Structure 1
Amino acid sequence: MISINQLPAFVRRYYPALLTGFFLAVISLTCASIRAGETIFAGNPAEPGYIVAFIMLGSFTLGIGQFVVIRGYSAGNRAVVGLLLGCLIAGVVTYPFSRDALLAVVSIIAPLLALLAYNSRRYREMSKTLSDIRRKRFKPVSDKR
C-alpha cells in the first residue's frame, strides 16, 4: 500500500508513461477515425457525423479503459491495446487511399508509439503496483470467494 508520503514519488515516476500513452492513443484514435471515415463514407453527406460517432465511441472506450487501469484491473489494458490495434489496422488499410500524406503517416506512427508506451517497463510496473494496491486494499469480506 502506498502511503500519502509516497504518492508524489509514485506520480512522478509512473504517470508520464500513462499520460504519454493516453495522449498518443487520442491522436491515433482521431487520425484513424478521420481516415476510415473519409475512405469508407466518401461522398456520403453524413460523413462528418460518422466520423464524430467513431471518435465518441473510441473516446468512451479509451476513457473507461484508462479508468479501469487506474483502479488496478488488467482488463483496461486489454481494451486500450485492442483500440490501438484497431486504429493501426485502420491506418494501414486506408493508407493506399490517402489524400493527405501527413495524416496517413501519423495514423500509422501514432498507434505504434502508443503501443510502445503501453509496453514500456514503467507502464507495466505501474499496472502491477496498482493491481497490488487493489488486492491489498479491497480484500473480500468472506473467505467463500
Structure 2
Amino acid sequence: MMKPAQFQTFMRRYFPTFLLGFFICLLSAALSATLWIDSHWRNHPDNPLFTMMSSAVLVLLLCSGHFAMVRGFTWAVWVVLPVPTVALLMALSLLGSGVNAVLLAILLALPLLALLVFNSQRHREMRRRLVELRKVRR
C-alpha cells in the first residue's frame, strides 16, 4: 500500500487530471443531450422525460466508469469513452439546425477536449498506476 507521502504525491500529480476528465465529460454530456433533445423533439410532450433519462444514462455510464477506473480496472476507460463520443455525435448532428454558433462551438469543443484529456500522457500514467495499485492490493 501507499504511505501517506506517496498518496499525497499521487493525488497532487493525478487528481486534477482525473477531475478535469470527469467534469468535462459530465458537462459535455449534459449540454449535448439537453440541446439535442430540445432541438429534435421540441414539441414532444415527453421532452423533459427524454432529457432526464438520456442525461441519467450518460451520467451513470460516466460515474460507473470512473469508479471502476479508480478501482484499477483496465476496461473502465471503455465505459467512459462512449460518453464524450456520443456527446460529440449529438453536437455534430446539430450543425445547421439553428443553434447559436457560440453554443455549438462549445458543444463541439467540450467532447474533443475530454477525449484529449483521456488521451493525455498524464491520464495514461494515472490509469497505469491505478492498475499497478490494484495488483498490489490483491
TM score, norm. by length of structure 1:
0.89
Q: CA deviation at 1:98?
A: 3.4
Matched residue, 2:66: 66
Q: CA deviation at 1:73?
A: 0.8
In structure 2, what residue type is equivalent to 1:114?
A
- 1:93 and 2:122 matched: no
Q: CA deviation at 1:38?
A: 1.6
Q: CA deviation at 1:2?
A: 2.5
The 1-side partners of 2:117 and 2:107 are apart by: 16
Matched residue, 1:103: 103
Q: In the alignment, is the contact (CA less than 8 A) between 1:31 and 1:103 conserved in 2?
A: no
Instruction: Give the 4+ runs in structure 1 shifted more than 2 A.
Output: 1-5, 98-103
Identity %: 28
- 1:57 and 2:76 matched: no
Question: Number of matched residues?
Answer: 138
For residues 30-41 of structure 1, the aligned pairs below 5 Å read 30-41=30-41
Structure 2 residues without counterparts, runs of 5 or longer:
none
The 2-side partners of 1:33 and 1:8 are apart by: 36
Could you give the per-residue CA deviations for residues 40-72 of structure 1, whole angstroms, max 9, x where no partner exists? 312112212211111111111100000000000
The 2-side partners of 1:90 and 1:79 are apart by: 18
Q: CA deviation at 1:3?
A: 2.2
Between structure 1 and structure 2, the one with the greater Rg is 1
The 2-side partners of 1:111 and 1:119 are apart by: 12
For residues 11-22 of structure 1, the aligned pairs below 5 Å read 11-22=11-22
Q: In the alignment, is the contact (CA less than 8 A) between 1:35 and 1:104 conserved in 2?
A: no
In structure 2, what residue type is equivalent to 1:44?
H
In structure 1, what residue type is equivalent to 2:33?
S
Q: CA deviation at 1:76?
A: 1.5
TM score, norm. by length of structure 2:
0.93
The 2-side partners of 1:68 and 1:106 are apart by: 28
Matched residue, 1:142: none
Structure 1 residues without counterparts, runs of 5 or longer:
139-145
Could you give the per-residue CA deviations for residues 77-96 of structure 1, whole angstroms, max 9, x where no partner exists? 11111111111111111222
The 2-side partners of 1:102 and 1:26 are apart by: 19
The 2-side partners of 1:128 and 1:12 are apart by: 16
